Amino acid sequence: MKKMYDLHTHTIHSDGEMLPIELIRRMAVLGYTTVAITDHVDTSNATTILGSLVMVKESAQLFGVNLLCGVEITHVPPAQIAGLAHQAKDAGADIVIVHGETPVEPVAPGTNHASCTCRYVDVLAHPGVLTMEDALRAAKNNIALEVTSRGGHNRTNGYIVQVAREAGCQIVVDSDAHAPHDLLDERARFLVAKGAGLTESECRDVLSLNIEGFLSS
């Protein structure tokens, strides 16, 4: 089985159903080697969430998984996104993602723009109908755009692929998992990528992305 990643998952520390180590164990069995736990945060809990996750790194390594301790900045006013992302990185976050302007939730307008202009953001999750101007900003700042398997959020996957291609953005494929049934095996990951409109070659490149290299660039 090829190495697999998922940069967007949730545990009982926000609205997920699994303990962090249960999530890691289930993903290890599926063949994942890199997993980011990115529970929902705002200004009230980002540092606390990250402090808890660090305690699970050794356990994850024993299961053969590189755990990325992360956050998903969620429903935060756009003017506070950059500051909170910076705070999360200072608190030890390996990865910062932002809950983008999905068509199925009342995310504040301007969230996508604030995220795409912030050098502390790594992934813009389910960004909905992202403008080309913001996609170009994301590409300039090495911010990946997410193709997701999560119901509702995935309605604009095809659009995101088209915009990302034109703007030169990195694409990542994530589960946004909250429960065991949300986890993707190797075939399911490929189908999500292919179904979003990626070519066979693009699927291979996106699904085998060197995450360590991406995050350090």
How many other β-carbons are positioned within 10 Å of the β-carbon of residue 184?
20
Average pLDDT score, the chain: 97
Question: What's the whole-model pTM score?
Answer: 0.97
Using 50, 70 and 90 to split pLDDT, how confident is the model at 214? very high
Q: What is the pLDDT of residue 2?
A: 73
How many domains are contained in the chain? Answer: 1
Q: What is the pLDDT of residue 217?
A: 86
Average pLDDT over residues 169-179: 98
The CATH number for 58's domain is: 3.20.20.140
Listed in order, strand segments (DSSP E) in 140-190 are: 144-148, 171-174
Q: What is the pLDDT of residue 61?
A: 98
- Give the Cα-Cα-Cα angle 31, 175, 22 (nearest 5 degrees): 55
pLDDT, tens digit, 9 for 90 and up, residues 109-125: 999 999 999 999 999 99
Range of the domain at 131: 4-216
pLDDT, tens digit, 9 for 90 and up, residues 61-83: 999 999 999 999 999 999 999 99
